[in-house]
Amino acid sequence: MESIHVKTVDPIGQDLLRGAAAKGLDLGWERYERLQPQDGFLRTGLSCAYGCLQGPCRIDPFGRGATQGICGLDRDGMVAASLLRLCLHGALEGLTEANNQEPAWPAELGPAAKKAEKVLGGDVSAADTFAAAKQLSRPGASPDDLLRQALRLSLLTVGLTGEGALRAAGRLSCRVGYGVVSGAGPVIGLCGRPTSDLVAALRDSTGASEPQGQIVALGEWIVADGELLPIACTSGEVEAVLSAGWLDAVALGPDADPAIARLCRSIGLPVFGEAEAAAARMTKSANGPNASQCAEGQVLCSAEEARAGLASNGSAGLAILAGSDAPQISLGWLPTELAPALRAKGLSVAACGDAALWVAKAGLASLDSDRPVSLLDPLRGPLDALAAAGPERVKGICFTGVKTSRDLAFALGLAVLGARVSVATPLPLWGSAGVRDLLNEKIAALGGAFAHWDHPASPDEVLAWFGES
pLDDT tens-digit series, residues 166-191: 776 678 899 999 998 887 778 889 98
Residue 240 is predicted with a pLDDT of: 94
**Do 400 and 322 share a structural domain?**
yes
In a domain, 166, yes or no: no
**Do 53 and 28 share a structural domain?**
no
**Do 225 and 262 share a structural domain?**
yes
Instruction: Write out pLDDT tens, residues 383-423.
Output: 999 998 888 889 999 999 999 999 999 999 999 999 999 99
Residue 2 has pLDDT above 50, yes or no: no
- Whole-Å CA distances, 38 to 32, 43, 266, 407: 9, 8, 27, 21
Residue 279 is predicted with a pLDDT of: 53
* Listed residues 131, 159, 187: the one ending a domain: 159
- What DSSP character marks residue 47? B
**Do 347 and 260 share a structural domain?**
no
* Least confident among 115-129, 220-234, 400-414: 220-234
In a domain, 328, yes or no: yes
**Do 325 and 265 share a structural domain?**
no
Residue 283 has pLDDT above 70, yes or no: no
Residue 75 is predicted with a pLDDT of: 94
Give the confidence band of 6 by pLDDT, cuts at 50, 70, 90.
confident
Residue 249 is predicted with a pLDDT of: 87
**Domain residue limits at 26:** 4-34
Residue 299 has pLDDT above 80, yes or no: yes
CATH number at residue 257: 3.40.50.2030
Residue 362 is predicted with a pLDDT of: 93
**Do 389 and 244 share a structural domain?**
no
Strand partners, 398: 321, 422
Q: How many domains does the chain have?
A: 4
| Contacts of 404 by beta carbon, 8 Å cutoff, 6+ apart | 90, 93, 324
**Do 210 and 131 share a structural domain?**
no
In a domain, 288, yes or no: no
* Listed residues 262, 277, 292: the one ending a domain: 277
Residue 277 is predicted with a pLDDT of: 55
Give the confidence band of 469 by pLDDT, cuts at 50, 70, 90.
low
| Contacts of 437 by beta carbon, 8 Å cutoff, 6+ apart | none
Residue 280 has pLDDT above 90, yes or no: no
In a domain, 411, yes or no: yes
Residue 212 has pLDDT above 60, yes or no: no
Alpha helices in 208-351 (DSSP H): 238-243, 258-266, 274-277, 303-310, 333-344
- What DSSP character marks residue 84? H
Which secondary structure element, helix H or strand E, spans residue 227, and what is its range?
Answer: strand 227-228
- What DSSP character marks residue 455? S
Residue 273 is predicted with a pLDDT of: 73
**Do 61 and 26 share a structural domain?**
no
In a domain, 359, yes or no: yes
**Do 25 and 87 share a structural domain?**
no
- pTM for the model stands at 0.93
Residue 316 is predicted with a pLDDT of: 79
Residue 1 has pLDDT above 50, yes or no: no
Give the confidence band of 65 by pLDDT, cuts at 50, 70, 90.
confident
Residue 197 is predicted with a pLDDT of: 78
**Do 117 and 47 share a structural domain?**
yes
In a domain, 452, yes or no: yes
* Listed residues 277, 311, 327: the one ending a domain: 277
Round to the nearest angstrom and report the end-to-end CA distance of the chain: 40
In a domain, 233, yes or no: yes
**Do 268 and 310 share a structural domain?**
no
In a domain, 295, yes or no: no
**Do 119 and 227 share a structural domain?**
no
Give the confidence band of 332 by pLDDT, cuts at 50, 70, 90.
very high
Concatenated DSSP letters for 411-452? HHHHHHTT-EEEESS--TTTT-HHHHHHHHHHHHHTT-EEEE
